[in-house]
Chain A
Amino acid sequence: MTAMQDPAEPVVVFRNVSKRFGSTAAVDAMSFTVAAGETLSLLGPSGCGKTTTLRLVAGFEQPDAGTIEIAGQAMTGRRPYERNVGLLFQHYALFPHMTVAENIGYGLKHRRWPKAEVGDRIAEMLRLVRLEGFDARKPNQLSGGQQQRVALARVLATKPKLVLLDEPLSALDAKLREELGLELKQILSTVGSTTIVVTHDQDEAMSLADRIIVMNRGRIEQLGTPGEIYAQPRTEFVASFIGRTNWFSGSGGTRLVNGVCRLMTDNGTALNVKTIDIPPAGGWRVCVRPERIAIMPPHTATTDPDVNVLTGEVVSIVNMGAQLHFVCRTSEGRITIIQPNRQGSHSKTGEAVSLQFGADDCVLLAPDAQ
């Protein structure tokens, strides 16, 4: 194992990796890389293959095809304990019969750290996760958040080349999740670790990751930064899995100037969509995020010819605290709008309104094959 690693060299390389269980392909020809110091998230619904991918990296499963490299070395045939990969389990998997210090020292013992350094390293890790003085506690004497920090200290103690996090925040309640999410991100960047986070929770992925792989049916749907994944989803699946979406569908359309297409929906509304793509011949789907739609008094005039205007009526309003969620009935069906909960008056239920959104708020997609 080389001590000095070229920062340009990816820490993890997946080349056409496949894993089948019976007749289903849990992971189907996946290829991606993780750069040194980067946090990559595998995001997808349950059964999408993200957990299998994680287990392939950790060595609990062997791929049926393709190769996995970690830190420049092929992992084929290597047992979990022959790889320097740390895994933070969803429910922490702390050893219940060992103290906090014994838990953290377990990896050091088996990775053959010099005995004289083990005590110092345990103390250092406890400082890192702000649990000084907890050495002699048993895991059942700790809160959920403390257990998670001990588990993280145990993972990081041996300085693994790669850290895997399996749904790291999902076992915590909402408030703690936010707090520990920030702390987790900070600790990981302090030690500069290369990390893969597996999660079904988009907030977890968005908040922790530099890049996200959205997975579905064992395949990569899209790889990109959190911003790209949200603002420019490339498939219908990604758009509907991440965040809320309003959908318009139809077929055909004409190209105008300025990269704007005028599309006709199935319900007969003209829609201006900014795109460099040609609307797919077989039909199209347009995704508009709820916070991109403005609610205006009826018959509000616009000067911009590219702005889309829908008239409708407010059906319901839900106050979510920081935001207001409106549902309006229009000729295109029900449209959801999310607005910040600012001071002053807003439209009331039953009022007629004009909904406006720009051509560049629309994302043109081909319908997913079923």
Chain B
Amino acid sequence: MSGRLIDDAMWLAGLILIGTILCFLLTPIAVTVVMAFDSRAYLGPLPPPSLSLRWFQQFFSDDYFLRGLSTSLKLATLAVAISTAVGLATAFVVERAEFAGKQLLISLFLSPLLVPPVVTGFALLLFLSHLGLINGFARLLCGHIIITVPYTIRATLTGLGGIDRALTEAALSLGANEQAAFWDITLPLARTSIISGAIFAFAVSMDDVAVSIMLTDATTYTLPVALISSMRANFDLSIAAASVMLMLVTLGLIVALEKSVGLNKAIGQGVFRS
């Protein structure tokens, strides 16, 4: 009897824990969302007396934010395009070739996941200034490629690994050369994995602060960096409005991912491969 009681108590404790974690995760976000629609011109106590879109208007009338948003979008698009191509090329070669130290090489490609982003950013800043590269956008692009490439490599490797080698061999025995087999067979079958890697990479690039903050210059900065700087200068709720919009973008990406591959599969594939 006592064994059952303990089991039941464990279940209850588990449920309470999950509930607490959910509250802890969701309450701040819920507060931010509500505040973003606050109609008051100052930071007042909850709940707001009435709702409005004034903070969204303020965000879109602020050049500083708009500039950051535009840089972020350009940067994310370009960085994802490059790191997807790099990821595909790297994963394809690593998948095909058999050599000693293959696992080590894969780990090396994934190491930006383990190195703290601040360190990556700082190291890159030093390195690029030595090279004489001082253009803000170019520096940011380098940084964002480095932090997004592990995601595209990993996702592509998983995708390629799931393709039966016999399919390529079948294409070869039917008269296609290696290159034709790649375009006809390998690429179409790895497509969903490549896309899920690219979506992850886009989200990582849009959300990054630690690397970006090291590499920005006075005129080129990303949206998250702009939000942080403006928060230091004058705290107002347009940051809450921006946060709501960033969340919507992320939510949109998650929905896209769910529709194209299934979220569990994508996250499962994202970093570790069984």
Contacts and interface: CB of A to CB of B under 8 A. Distances in A.
A110 B167 CA distance: 15
Interface string B165-197: 011011111111100100011001100000000
Contacts, number: 60
Nearest to A110: B175
Contact of A87 (B173, B184, B185, B188): B173
Given A95-B185, A97-B188, A87 B176 contact: no
B164 interface: yes
Nearest to B164: A93
Nearest to B181: A81
Contacts of B177: 79, 81
A327 to B, nearest CB: 42
Contacts of B167: 93, 95
A243 to B, nearest CB: 31
Contacts of A218: none
A111 B175 CA distance: 6
A273 interface: no
B172 to A, nearest CB: 4
A58 B172 CA distance: 10
Nearest to B172: A80
A85 B173 contact: yes
A336 interface: no
A199 interface: no
A93 B189 CA distance: 13
B126 to A, nearest CB: 47
Nearest to B177: A81
Interface string A240-253: 00000000000000
Contacts of A89: 166, 169-170
B185 A60 contact: no
A107 interface: yes
Contacts of A158: 174-175
Nearest to A96: B189
B175 A107 contact: yes
Contacts of A85: 173
Contacts of B166: 89-91, 93
A110 B177 CA distance: 9
A289 interface: no
Contacts of A154: 170, 174
Contacts of B172: 59-60, 79-81
Contacts of B180: 110
Interface in A37-61: 58-60
Interface in B114-170: 164, 166-167, 169-170
Contacts of A94: 170
Contacts of A107: 174-175
Contacts of A79: 172, 177
A97 B159 CA distance: 14
A140 B184 CA distance: 18
A59 B170 CA distance: 12
Nearest to B189: A97
A106 B189 contact: no
B170 A95 contact: yes
Interface in A89-116: 89-91, 93-97, 106-107, 110-111
Which of A93, A97, A111 gathers most chain B CB within 10 Å? A93
A238 to B, nearest CB: 30
B185 A110 contact: no
Given A91-B164, A110-B180, A80 B185 contact: no
B170 A93 contact: yes
A168 interface: no
11 contacts: A58-B169, A81-B172, A87-B173, A91-B164, A94-B170, A95-B171, A96-B189, A106-B174, A106-B184, A111-B174, A154-B170
Enumerate the 7 nearest inter-chain pairs by beta-carbon distance, A residue then B residue, closest first.
A110-B175, A107-B174, A93-B166, A93-B170, A80-B172, A111-B175, A87-B173
Interface of A: 58-60, 79-81, 85-87, 89-91, 93-97, 106-107, 110-111, 154, 158
Given A60-B172, A81-B174, A94-B170, 12 more contacts: A60-B169, A81-B173, A81-B175, A91-B166, A93-B169, A106-B174, A106-B176, A110-B171, A110-B175, A110-B176, A111-B175, A158-B174
